[in-house]
Amino acid sequence: MQKEYIDFGDLSAPTVASSSVRMLAALACELDLEFCHSDIDQAFVRAPLKEDIFMRMPEGCGALSGKIVQLNKSLYGLRQASREWYALLKKCLLALGFEQCMADSCVFRFVEGGEVVLLLEVHVDDIFAVGTKERCDQFGKDLGEYVPVKSLGELKWYSGCYYERDREAGRLTISQQTYTEELGERYGVEWGGGIPLPTTWKLWDFDADEPSVEHPFRALVGSLLWIALLTRPDIANSVRAVARYSGAPKLIHWKAALSILGYAVRTSSFGICFQRGTVSGFTLITFVDADYASRAADRRSVSGGVVMCAGGAIAWFSKAQKCVTLSTTPAEFVAVADMGKEILFLRQVWRFMLPKELRPCIPLYEDNEGAIQIAKYPISNSRPCIPLYEDNEGAIQIAKYPISNSRPCIPLYEDNEGAIQIAKYPISNSRPCIPLYEDNEGAIQIAKYPISNSRPCIPLYEDNEGAIQIAKYPISNSRPCIPLYEDNEGAIQIARYPISNSNSKHIDVRHHFLRQLVDEKEVEIIHVASQYQHADFLTKALHEREFVFHRDYVMNLK
C-alpha cells in the first residue's frame, strides 16, 4: 500500500483535449498532410522513479518469490506511473527540439526556418503526428532512440472513434458507429425517430410522487454523453436535458433516453466531417445562441455554441446558464460570453498550430443585436456614477475641465453670454466676428462643418450583415479577430456600445471580459439571421426540418 507524500507526490498527468484532436484532424484534411499514429511499447515501465519504492515479489518468480526488491523504474499499478511517463515523454520531445503548447500541454510542434513542419498530440502512450510522410517517419526514428516506438500507420481508431479518410476527395470523417450500434444492442434499441426528442415532450411534466425507475438510467445517459461529447453535437442538447434527472429519473425520462438512443442508432453512420476547401483559408467560425428561460424549474436559460473548422465542428456545448437573466438580450449576451471562454482556449491551440500568415480572422456569429452591443462597447456597472450637487457654476467648470495647478485659474463671473463666448473662444480682435442670422438649420450645419460636395456620399445597399460589419469595422491582420455570429441584435449592441439600462445592469461582471476580446480585435461579433443561426439546435428541441438543416451544416453531412 503506497502512502501519500512518502511513496508518491503529484499524480495528475494531462491528456489531450478532444477539441484539439479534432482541430488537428481538420488541419491534416485542409492541408492534405499525413495523419500518423504511433504507440509506445510498455510505456509506463520506461519512466524512472523519484521515490524509493519497494515491493514483495509475487509467487511464480522462482528464487525471487516472496523477496522484497526495490524498483528502479515505474510499474503499471503505481499511483504515479502515468505522471512519471508523461514527464519522461515531455523531456524526450523537448530534447528533440519540439515546443510545447501552453494552452494544451499535450500538443507539441517542431519549427524549422520559422515554419511549423510537424505537429504532435499525445494521449498517454498514443502519439498523433501531422506533417509530411518524411517528417513523420523521421520523428519515429528520432524518438525511437529514447523509447521503443511502434508505428501504426495512418490514424484509424482513437478513443472509440473511427477516422475514415478519402484523400482524393479531400474528406475526413470521425464517427462512433460501432460503439453506437453496440450500445443499441445492449439496451434492445434497433431503430428510432428522425429527431432525438419530439418537441411535444415535456420532461418536467411528471408526478413528483411517482417512484424512480429501476432501469440503468445513469449508465445509459453516461454512454450517450460520451457520444455527444466526441462526435455527435446533434444529440448534445437532448442528452443535457435528460441528464438533469439522473438523481431520481421517472418513466418519461427513461423513455426519453431510449428515444435519443434510437435516433443515434438510426444515424449511427453520421459523424463529424471535414472537407478540404470548404472555406477560404484555414479559419475558425463560431455560432452562439441562447434559449431564454427555457428551464421550467428555475427559469434559467440555455447556452449553445459551436466552433467550425474546415467545414466541420471541432467544439460545441449545450449547457444551462449559471445566472438567471431577465430578458432575451442578457441571456444571449451570457451565451456569447460562454463562447468567449471556449474561444480563449481554442485560439491559443489554433495559433500554436499555424504559422502566422495562415491565421485569418475568426468570426463569431450571434443573432441577438443587443448581446453584440454589450460585448463590443464597454459598460461599467461595477463602478456606477455618483452624482455630486453644486450650486456654483464656476466651481463646476473647474471640476469638469482640467487646469494646471502651477497657475491656478481665477474664476470670473459674467452675466452676458456673448462676452463669455468671446472670452472662451479666441477671435481676431482686428477683425471682429460679425453675427449672421439664418433660419435654415441645414445651411447652418453646412457652414459650420465642412463637407466635400465634389465627392458626395453614394449609398451602397447590402443584405449580408456580416459583409456590412466587415466593411464598417477594420480588422488588424497582425492580430486576427475571431468572428462570432449572433442573431440577437440587443446582445450585439450591449457588446459593442456603452449602454446601461435596467435590462442589462444585472449581468454579472465576470461576463464582461468579452468586451476586452472585442476591443483587442480578438473577436468580431457579427449579426446573423435567426434562420441561419446554426447553434439553435444546441439550445432547444426543433421540428425535424429545422433540426436536419442545422445538423447537416454543423456536421458537414452530404
What is the spatial distance between Cα 461 and Cα 468, in angstroms, rounded to a whole number? 9
Place of cell 491582420: 477
Per-residue model confidence as pLDDT tens digits over 47-56: 888 888 888 8
Q: What is the DSSP string of 313-330?
A: EEEEEEEE-SS--SSHHH
pLDDT at 138: 93
Burial of residue 408 (number of CB atoms within 10 Å: 0-12, 13-18, 19+): exposed
Give the separation between CA 192 and CA 256, rounded to whole angstroms: 11
Rounded CA separation 370/487 (Å)? 9
E-assigned strand segments in 211-344: 271-275, 284-291, 302-309, 312-320
Q: What pLDDT shows up at residue 535?
A: 92
Q: Is 203 helix (H, G, I), strand (E, B) or coil?
A: coil
Domains belonging to the chain, first-starting first, are: 18-155 (3.30.70), 175-273 (no CATH), 280-380+465-555 (3.30.420), 395-448 (no CATH)
Helices (H), 441-543: 441-448, 465-472, 489-496, 513-519
Kindly state the helix (H) or strand (E) to which residue 158 belongs, with its residue range.
Answer: strand 157-158
Q: Give the three-class secondary structure for 186.
A: helix
pTM over 0.85: no
List strands edge to edge, sheet with 34-40. Answer: 99-100, 107-112, 115-123, 126-131, 34-40, 149-154
For residue 36, the cross-strand partners are 129, 154
* Segment (H or E) for 65: none
- Give the pLDDT confidence score for residue 516 in this predicted structure: 77
Beta strands in 17-87 (DSSP E): 34-40, 54-56, 68-70
Q: What is the radius of gyration, based on Cα positions, of the chain?
A: 31
Residue 22, C-alpha cell as written in the block: 479534432
What is the amino acid identity at position 431? R
Please check whether residue 34 is in contact with residue 130, taking contact to mean a CB–CB distance below 8 angstroms.
yes
| Spatial separation of the C-alpha atoms in residues 262 and 9, rounded to whole Å | 46
pLDDT of residue 312: 93
- Per the CB < 8 A criterion, the answer to whether 307 and 276 are in contact is no
- List the chain residues with pLDDT less than 70: 1-9, 280-281, 295-297, 355-363, 374-391, 394-395, 397-411, 418-419, 421-435, 437, 442-443, 445-481, 496-512
Specify the pLDDT at position 372: 74
